[in-house]
Chain A
Amino acid sequence: MLDLYSPGTSVLHRLSPGVKMLSMALGATLLFLNQSLLITAAATLGILALYPVARLPLTKAAAQLRPLLVIFALFFAVQWYFESLTLAAYVVLRLAALILLASLVTLTTRSSDMIDTMTRGLRHLKPLGVHPEKVSLAISLALRFIPVLAQITTEVREAQKVRGLERSVIAVAMPMAIRAIKIADDISDAIDSRGYRS
Chain B
Amino acid sequence: MTTKDIVYIALFAALTAALGLMPPIHFAGAALPPITAQSLGVMLAGAVLGAKRGGFALLLFIALVAVGLPLLSGGRGGFGVLLGTSGGFLLAWPFCAALIGYLIENDSAAGPVKTGVYVALGGIALMYAAGIPWMAFIGKLGLGKSLSIMVAYVPGDLVKVVLATLIARGLRRAYPNL
Contact = CB atoms under 8 A, between A and B. Distances in A.
Do any CB atoms of chain A lie under 8 A from CB atoms of chain B in the complex? yes
Interface of A: 1-5, 21, 24, 28, 64, 67-68, 70-71, 74-75, 78-79, 82-83, 87, 90-91, 95, 98-103, 105-106, 109, 111, 114-115, 118, 131, 134, 137-139, 141-146, 148-150, 152-154, 167, 169-170, 172-174, 176-178, 180-181, 183-185, 187-188, 191-192, 196, 198
Interface string B146-165: 00010000000000100100
A187 B84 contact: no
A184 B78 contact: no
Interface string B102-139: 00000000000000000000000000000000000011
Closest 4 A/B residue pairs (Cβ): A106-B78, A141-B10, A102-B79, A102-B80
Interface of B: 1-4, 6-15, 17-19, 21-23, 30-33, 37, 40, 44, 48, 56, 60-61, 63-64, 66-71, 74, 76-80, 82-85, 138-141, 145, 149, 160, 163, 166-167, 170-171, 174-175, 178
Given A68-B84, A188-B3, A139 B40 contact: no
A154 B56 CA distance: 26
Contacts, number: 199
Contacts of A82: 145
A3 B59 CA distance: 19
Given A71-B33, A103-B78, A188-B4, A95 B138 contact: yes
Given A2-B70, A118-B67, A173-B163, A181 B7 contact: no
Given A2-B69, A4-B69, A111-B67, 11 more contacts: A70-B31, A114-B67, A118-B67, A131-B1, A134-B1, A137-B6, A145-B11, A146-B69, A146-B71, A148-B14, A177-B48
A170 B14 contact: no
Nearest to A117: B67
Contacts of A178: 171, 174
Contact of B14 (A102, A142, A154): A142
Contacts of B32: 70, 74
A105 B60 contact: no
17 contacts: A2-B70, A71-B85, A74-B32, A75-B85, A87-B140, A98-B80, A102-B79, A103-B80, A111-B68, A137-B6, A142-B61, A148-B14, A149-B11, A169-B160, A170-B163, A170-B166, A173-B44
A79 B141 contact: yes
B11 A174 contact: no
A101 B71 CA distance: 20
Given A67-B74, A78-B145, A149 B6 contact: no
Nearest to A187: B7
Given A75-B141, A173-B40, A173-B44, A142 B13 contact: yes
A142 B10 contact: yes
A5 B68 contact: yes
Contacts of B8: 184
B60 A138 contact: yes
